[in-house]
Amino acid sequence: METIIGNQPMNSAQFFVYQTLAKAKSEEVKEELTSLYLNYLQKKLNDETKRLWMEGIISHEKIEEILNSHYRIPYK
């Protein structure tokens, strides 16, 4: 059985997070679980950023280039 939220089906990881939060007995527990999950995602992001930096895919110059770029769609 596929679980659907809105128009999008949930994968097994999303469904696990949903079930875990749904079983929380109090708002405090939900906040604690959310904090743990966000810390996990932050660690994964930091690890990936470090990997990209070490491989030379990102650098100070690339970051400056992105910050100074304009990616807006020109409308006529």
Sequence ranges of the domains in the chain:
4-67
Convert 26-49 to b/e letters by CB count within 10 Å (16 or more is b).
eeeeeeeeeeeeeeeeeeeeeeee
Task: Using alpha carbons, select from 43, 23, 42 the residue that is nearest to residue 33.
Answer: 23
* Euclidean distance between CA atoms 18 and 9, whole angstroms: 12
pLDDT score recorded for residue 3: 62
pLDDT score recorded for residue 56: 93
Residuewise pLDDT in 10s, the chain (76 residues): 566 666 788 899 888 888 888 888 899 998 998 899 899 999 999 999 999 999 999 999 999 998 888 877 777 7
